[in-house]
Amino acid sequence: MSEAARGARLAFDGYEVVLSSLKQAAVRAERPRELWDEVGAALVVSTQQRFEDEEDPQGNPWPQSLRARFFGGRTLTDTASLVQSITHEASDDGVAVGTNVLYAAIHQTGGRIEAKKARALRFRLPGGNGFIAVKAVTMPRRAFLGLDEADGKEIAAIAGAYLGAEEGGDAGR
């Protein structure tokens, strides 16, 4: 993920209570990287589940891709390279979850893609009916990175386990 600027990465806001307890646990943890690594691993699993469910972090269904509609399969999982690229990097200061796949950002945020080097973009038509050339396409937003309510509960449980371990609890750490 070291090339995250070319893929997709998201900072999380709006989960102040969960993030506060997580920061408290990290400050008190002897090895905070282990805490952040566990949080990152949980968020990777959650993000990968969104590809199975074909929905964004708020539970909204992704707009179906033309490939999935005409050729079958699932949206954003033709080769599964995007979902398999979701990873995390943990340090003593925090965790980043994302991907370095080049086309990830356009799916995360949506937007317009225009032909830069060629005169047009070429796409295969359904049913083996040749190709179509267009100057630009608009990609709908299909967000996969983000926190949902279940992520907040999981993060709180992880932080609680670390706080319990620090206080002599039986969290197994």
151-165 pLDDT, tens digit per residue, is 999 998 998 888 776
Structural domain includes residue 132:
no
Structural domain includes residue 120:
no
Residue type, 113: I
Structural domain includes residue 129:
no
Tokens 């992704």 — which residue?
A: 62
Structural domain includes residue 82:
yes
Structural domain includes residue 137:
no
Domain, as residue range, for 10: 4-110+143-166
Structural domain includes residue 10:
yes
DSSP E strands, 19-169? 87-91, 94-99, 111-114, 121-124, 131-134, 136-139
Q: Which of 136, 73, 69, 64 is nearest to 107 (CA)?
A: 64
CA distances, 159 to each of 1, 37, 149, 155 (Å): 24, 12, 15, 6
- pLDDT value for 170: 46
Mean pLDDT per 10-residue run, the chain (173 residues)?
Answer: 51 64 74 90 98 97 91 92 96 91 95 94 83 95 95 90 63 43
Predicted model pTM: 0.79
Total number of domains in the chain: 1
Structural domain includes residue 136:
no
- The token pair at 123 is 């796409």
- pLDDT value for 17: 66
Interior/surface letters 74-83, b for 16+ CB within 10 angstroms, e for the rest: bbbbeeeebb
CB 37 within 8 A of CB 125: no
Structural domain includes residue 31:
yes
Q: Which of 53, 43, 60 is nearest to 76 (CA)?
A: 53
Q: Which of 29, 48, 18 is nearest to 155 (CA)?
A: 18
